Amino acid sequence: MSVAEPAQQAASKPLDVSRLRADFPILQEVVNGKPLVYLDSAATSQKPESVIQAISDYYRFSNANVHRGVHALGERATEAFEGAREDVARFVNADPRGVVFVRNTTEGLNLVAQAFARPLLGPGDRIVATEMEHHSNLVPWQQVRDQTGCELSYIKLTEDGRLDQDSVEGLLRPPTRLLAVTHVSNVLGTINPIRELVEQAHEQGIVVCVDGAQAVPHMPVDLKDLGADFYSFSGHKMLGPTGTGVLYGRPELLDKMPPFLTGGSMISVVTLEKTTWNEIPHRFEAGTPDIAGAAGLSAAIRYLEAVGMERIRQHSAELTDYAQEALSEVPGLTQYGPRGEDRTGMVSFNLEGVHPHDVGTILDREGVAVRAGHHCCQPLMRQLGVAATTRASFCLYNTRDEVDCLVRGLGEVNRIFRD
């Protein structure tokens, strides 16, 4: 499929995965004599040729610093960088003034923790997170707790990996001041009801900070509709370059926040005695940014828009359902997380008596790339009663045939360990 295909046409047609795969050079790789089956997109997605070309074109034709240059290359670089901000804002339906470029989801969440929560909270206040959070949306809040003396509590999970509603209702009330929650769990694939959580939180005056790293690649995200106060996601999980990410913050909140990093670009006036800050969002973008990365992120967004996020959502859901059914036939395999519409993008599992690292190593011999470990979710692993899991995660370029390759590879694991 051509990436220039209009999104309105794409939305009316089923996803042609075989044509899409031709846009991703690395999918032609051979691993251990087998065609690559890449099922690790939750860690980082592969990149289409258009993204690779956009990064190359920036360095070939537009390489200069942004905002300060009056020469032609500086103007091209600034146009590419600020154009990427506009593309991000359009993609997630957000005010461009609230779009802050960061390196990744982790940096965005740390920015909120240190520039918003730390100055605001103190003893007697409470932060609430959930037991399914990635360390990136858990450790920063532990730091704020230790720095301010506030309380940190966690929403519990049901046995099938959803948020426990009784726990939600018990904690989304005073003295809670901030809710930190993932949109989609990077282990369970659970899609949390963000709009409903935001409504409940806002009724109590609670600010909501969302980790959107696993949501933005798989489904349409409309930040005006969701209503979250802060929302962070990474470019490298949505076909874009590594080292790129976005923090969206409501402009009225960002405007009251001190900078996270200081130095060049984020200032208005500097004297030997004091400094005044630049306007938002530039106040939070100290130093030279990853301009080439922004160009690549812009190309990734245009690619996703051309394919159609509704079609990507449907493909991701169907592939996840197919994988859950196929894996249920593997002897000794336990899956984690819910079934149904509030689940997407990945399947985490264990084989009885086989360590996930051994599973991943044997699958690699078959050309199948998966992730093995605690997935930066050690508290969740303890809730599941395991040290680690194997995770197969999907993207728009994955197929049912690749899921079948995974199942055959697990058959080889069972043959080695059980015969």
Q: Which residues are annotated as catalytic?
A: 376
359 to 262, 364, 419: CA distances (angstroms): 45, 9, 15
Peptide bond into 241 cis (omega under 30): no
∠ at Cα 248 (242, 254), nearest 5°? 125
244 to 82, 131, 232, 240, 330: CA distances (angstroms): 14, 27, 11, 8, 38
318: tokens are 């169907």
Asked if residues 74 and 63 have their Cβ atoms less than 8 Å apart, the reply is no
Query: Cα separation of 177 and 198, whole Å?
Result: 13
Pairing relationship of beta strands 371-373 and 389-393 according to DSSP bridges? antiparallel
137 DSSP assignment = G
Q: Where are the beta strands (DSSP E) in 91-229?
A: 99-102, 126-130, 151-155, 176-182, 207-211
Q: Which long-range contacts (CB under 8 A, 24 or more apart) does 223-228 make?
A: 223/92, 223/93, 223/94, 223/248, 224/93, 224/94, 225/93, 225/195, 226/194, 226/195, 226/198, 227/195, 227/198, 227/199, 227/202, 228/194, 228/198
Pairing relationship of beta strands 368-369 and 37-38 according to DSSP bridges? parallel
284 DSSP assignment = G
Give the amino acid at 24.
Answer: F
∠ at Cα 370 (369, 375), nearest 5°? 145
DSSP per position, 83-97: HHHHHHHHHHT--GG
Hey, is 405 helix, strand or coil? Answer: helix
Give the amino acid at 334.
Answer: T
410: tokens are 């697990």
147 to 155, 230, 358: CA distances (angstroms): 22, 21, 40
